[in-house]
Structure 1
Amino acid sequence: MIGKVISSSTEEVVFRVLDSVDVEDVHVGSLVVIESQLTYLARVTSLELRNLGDVDLADKVAAMSAGADVYDDIQSVLGDQFYYVCRSRVAGIIDGRLRGAKSIPKVLSPVRLADANDLSFLRARGTDTVEIGRVRTLDLPIDLDRKALITHHCGVFGKTGSGKSNTVKVLLSTLLDMHTPALVFDVHGEYCRRDCLGASRDVVVMGMGSGEDMTLSLPLEEIKPRDLKLVSFLNETQSEAVEAIRARKHTRWIRYLRDTDTKTIHQDFDNQLFEPTIDALKRKVRNLLSQPYVGGDFNAPKAIYDTLRKRRTVVIDFGDYEHNDYAIRLITTIVSRYLLDRYKTAHKKGTAVPETLIVLEEAHKLLSTDIARLTIFETIVREGRKFGVGLMVVDQMPRKIHEEVISQLNTVIIMLLTNVKDREHLVASSENDLTAFKDEMARLDVGETIVTGISVPLPLSGFVPAFTGITPRPRDGFDDFAFNE
């Protein structure tokens, strides 16, 4: 036993730490068991020092004892005037499983640290789980429900150097072992390397260079006017004009703007489109077509879809384009939209497709309030679950991500976040109640995490082990990836 309940409510349970217990052995995030008529599982949210009598007693003792050894031992002079309390939140009632608590523990109920036996319900969740790490202070795995993790979307947030990328690597390597496909937009080239996911034969690396398994190419037919708006500013007149051209020329709208002179376009549309507007659109299309990954005979989105259907993972390596927002926005949007559309079609036809996770690094570049509505990702977080497409949002600055997107992330994996605006934005936007974790987010060490949401039965504090690589498998030839149109 480490303490006794001295205050109890549906919001918070406060217990006094026994004088015989070293308060430094109890931490924020520690799981405790409260033995009342029912057995309650609670999570420590804060610790504090209190004293009996005069509220300023500690200040007075400190002043009196300055420089005087006789007062160094406060307890021997004043008796047991000082003590410690822990504030905690009840996670539920342990009854063979963890169920919601609709009552509160009685005053003076004994409190002890939880052990592995108390959390045995964590091990009784079936085999379709993904291990992300271990519970802090307990030798128990943190297992995430695989289907909920993927189809109900998730977020991994942490400042640079917090262990965020390592966590994603651990998750993806486990999903690989479970033959769960993922599409990874690898902005910084962290996942495509041969000492990472690229070592596996079940991973296809696609990029804009010559060192990848495939060279990425976006067919003109898959580019829509809204994609042009995403990468180039279009005023209202230009937006209306390009939509009119697309409505008449369908998938050949880009070729039409490229190959047809301004006067002919002006006449084709009964002089309704102004020539300066047409010239502006032609310039923007020329810029689009000048990108080396636009056009070409190879249909990369289709190859990606076919690869994912084979339960393999695709990593798109942005290489030298890691700081090119134009490329990042265009490629991620077009590929992801194609994938969602094909999964929708498969669903309507009753064709089986594996649940697939889209991993979006540097997510704030695509999910800010002004950009998110132009991309496909806002649609994916709203509709993807119905078709087996999930989104993993990975970012170091959650404050820059549209709150409606964060609200759809039903599993949140939090690493160290020192910026108070990041923490406040997560707390305010998340569907999960993160209020009790706001301060703890700033105290996490490298590799430590708070996992909360639909994928776990209760919020868990733990640590993620270092990614040690995957067992390399032969990668000679890619006949398996020769796809027919």
Structure 2
Amino acid sequence: MVVGICVGETSLTEVTFISDKMPKVGEYVTIEYDGKKVLGMIENLIRGNDALNVDINDFKAIQKISRIGVEDNYIRGKVKILGDVNDNLKLPRTPVLPGTEIQLADKDVLEEIFKVKNPIKLGTLVNQSDVEVNVEANPILSRHLAILAMTGAGKSNTVSVLIDQLLNYNVPIFVFDMHGEYVNAEFPNGDVNVIKPKLNPKYMEFYEMKKLMNIPSNAVIQERHFRDAFNYANDELSKGTSETINFLDIMYDYLEVKSGVNDEEAKVDKSMVDVMNKILDAKIKYSNLFYQNAPNIVSNIQAAHVNVLDLSQVDEYVASVLVSHILRNSLQRSKDAAHTGNKEDLMKNSVFFILEEAHILAPKKRDSDSKRMIQRVAREGRKFGLGLCLVSQSPKTVDHDALSQMNNMIILRLVEPEDQRHVQSASESLSQDLVNQLPSLNVGEAIVLGLMSKVPTLVKIDEFKGRQHGDDMDIASYFANFKEKEEEEIRKTEEELNDLGYGY
């Protein structure tokens, strides 16, 4: 089917066309010229009328023209050139000749485009529901992914579809679950392994413990005392002489003796006492976080499972330390495996990390432990089998360096211009015309681009077939029947009292 005819000046990357029928933005087209069959995507459409141009300011004149009817309506569009269908989508060396017809792409051409080696089925084309959209798994796992959308656009459903598809390959998936959405989820292709946020201090770095103890960076003397106690506790545990004693207790006892707080004649070191008090506060505040005999969290990761770290009961401060701790340990473990020279050992340590609320864990305007490790894994992870997926409903507040390392993007509806600009600045593949389409996407529709797909794509994401808990609460329905429920409870209570002989 002829979509339009090329007009004006053409280039190697885009073509303007005029049409007598209305195509759709996101549709794929083919243009045949110079012995080539070039694939393109319609990225922009304008409908106009020469007789009803913006220079006419007389309302009655406009009304008369519109009543009479005119034949001056036109449709102008822009096609982004994607590449030669018969030459592995390489960009052509010569531009299209003006006057060349543009055809709607055949289904068999599109199916060949979306045929990949290790398919991840995301959904179907928005404009052609009979064409499945498959993306390549390996670029997602090694070159990272961002899933971005405003609230309610279908982000949680997209994450769940992706997880379920990756489970087909038995990939170890690790979700930093900030709101407990995936703890009770059910995936058709695999099981959920819930991991509690339990930290064994002996696996922690000094700076991680210092952060949790709330010792400021400029408190040099407190830091020195804390480091001495930290090193002492580690030495004691390594000797095996204090296995039954809590790590923090060892630190406290060490400082208590050294400070002379129990010696009436000794001069008490106030800075040391301050550190002791912070250790006591931490014991109370983090009583459910530290566990003396807990294994390293990374050792709990299971292949062919969705490994979910439930962070719904911890604050953002602790979540940042946990994310940093786990990413650091996982990266170090993978590096150690790589140094053995055994590729199989390295592959066994591969993990795909999904970070919900990425704007909290990798914030744009402030520093954090998790942000630094996310940036590091984003830069180094692909060499060691570690992948990242940053998920956020506030892209504008996600760290630009981390976001720009995501070589694949699934972008659902975004309305805020600042969100759009921030995402576009982090992606080389997102054109202004595609950005302009983001506010008009329906729920569950997304622009997919990056190394995982041969071409930018408008996708209707599949509906997740398992069970998840990312939907909004139906508060109105609950309280709509509140009075009836309350009256029913009173009636049941009265009946029970009557049965017991307490009736009036």
TM-score range, shorter chain: 0.7 to 0.9
CA distance in 2, matches of 1:35, 1:61: 43
Q: Does 1:136 align with 2:126?
A: yes
Does 2:282 match 1:288?
yes
Q: Secondary structure at the match of 1:259?
A: helix
In structure 1, what is the equivalent of residue 41 of structure 2? 43
Which residue does 2:17 correspond to in 1?
15
Provide the rounded CA distance (Å) in 2 between the counterparts of 1:168 and 1:225: 34
How has the CA–CA distance of structure 1 residues 159 and 342 changed in structure 2, closer, same or farther, with 3 Å as cutoff? same
Q: Deviations over 1:380-431 (max 9, x none)?
A: 1111111101111000011111111011101111011111111101111235
Asked whether the equivalents of residues 32 and 44 of structure 1 are also in contact (C-alpha less than 8 Å), the reply is yes
Residue aligning to 2:72 = 81
Do the aligned partners of residues 411 and 244 (structure 1) sit closer, same or farther apart at CA in structure 2, a change above 3 Å counting? same
Three-state SS of the structure 2 residue aligned to 1:117 is helix
The one-letter amino acid of 1:36's match is: Y
Deviations 1:268-287 (A, max 9, x none): xxxxxx94544444444434
For residue 300 of structure 1, report the CA deviation from its aligned partner. 4.6
Partner of 1:57: 53
Query: Given the superposition, is the C-alpha separation of residues 332 and 287 from structure 1 closer, same or farther in structure 2, using an over 3 Å criterion?
Result: farther
Q: Write out per-residue CA displacement over residues 280-323 of structure 1, whole angstroms, 9 at most, x where no aligned residue.
A: 44444434333134322443534x43533x443311123433xx
Answer yes or no: is 1:305 the counterpart of 2:299. yes
- Partner amino acid for 1:39? K
CA displacement at 1:365 relative to structure 2:
1.0
Distance 1:62 1:443, change over 3 A: farther
C-alpha RMSD over aligned residues:
3.0
Residues 312/277 of structure 1: CA separation in 2 closer, same or farther (3 Å cut): same
Match of 1:430 in 2: 427
1:3 aligns with 2:1: no
Does residue 27 (structure 1) correspond to residue 24 (structure 2)? The answer is yes
Residue type of the alignment partner of 1:288: A
- The structural deviation recorded for 1:176 is 1.5
Counterpart residue identity of residue 447, structure 1:
G
TM-aligned CA distance change 1:439 to 1:201, over 3 Å: closer
Residue of structure 1 in register with 2:228 after alignment: 245
**Equivalent in the alignment of 1:477:** none
- Alignment of 1:339 onto 2:322: no
Question: Quick one: percent identity of the two aligned structures?
Answer: 23
Summarize the Cα distance change of 1:441–1:278 in structure 2 as closer, same or farther, 3 Å threshold: farther
Structure 1 unaligned spans of 5+: 208-215, 268-273, 471-485
Q: State the secondary structure of the residue aligned to 2:113.
A: helix
Question: Are 2:190 and 2:304, in contact at CA under 8 Å, matched by a contact in 1?
Answer: no
**Equivalent residue letter for 1:92:** G
Paired residue type of 2:367: I
* Match for residue 378 of structure 2 among 377, 381, 400: 381
Deviation of the 1:102 alpha carbon: 3.2
- What amino acid is aligned across from residue 119 of structure 2 in structure 1? T
Out of 347, 367, 372, which is 1:371 matched to?
367
Q: Shift of residue 358 of structure 1? A: 0.5
The alignment partner of 1:99 has SS state of coil
| Aligned ranges 1:58-457 → 2 under 5 Å | 60=56, 63-65=59-61, 68=64, 71-75=66-70, 80-95=71-86, 97-126=88-117, 128-138=118-128, 139-194=130-185, 196-197=186-187, 202-207=191-196, 216-228=197-209, 230=211, 232=214, 234-238=216-220, 241=224, 244-245=227-228, 248-249=231-232, 251=234, 257-261=251-255, 264=258, 275-290=269-284, 291-302=286-297, 304-308=298-302, 310-321=303-314, 324-349=315-340, 350=342, 351=345, 352-353=347-348, 355-369=350-364, 370-372=366-368, 375-457=372-454
For the residue of structure 2 that corresponds to 1:371, the secondary structure is coil
SS of 1:9's partner is coil
Provide, for residues 427-481 of structure 1, a one-character-per-residue CA deviation record: whole Å limited to 9, x for no partner: 11235444332211121110001111111111111111111117xxxxxxxxxxx
Counterpart Cα distance in 2 of 1:135 and 1:230? 48
Cα deviation, 1:100-152, whole Å, max 9, x if unaligned, reads 333321111111222322224324422x1211111222222222211110111
Change (3 A) 1:246 1:440: farther
Alignment partners' CA distance in 2, 1:12 and 1:189: 46
Q: Is contact 1:96–1:121 with CA below 8 Å preserved after alignment? A: no
Q: TM-score, normalised by structure 1?
A: 0.81
Q: 1:440 to 1:262 in 2, by over 3 A?
A: farther
Letter in 2 for 1:159: M
Contact 2:5 2:101 in 1 (8 A): yes
Contact 2:146/2:408, CA 8 A, preserved across alignment: yes
For 1:432 and 1:246, the matched residues in 2 are separated by 51
Per-residue CA shift, 1:168-187, capped at 9, x if unaligned? Answer: 00010111122111011111
CA distance in 1, matches of 2:218, 2:304: 43
CA contact (8 A) 2:206 2:227 kept: no
Structure 2 spans left out of the alignment, 5+ residues: 236-246, 262-267, 468-504
Assess if the C-alpha contact under 8 Å between 2:255 and 2:276 holds in 1.
no
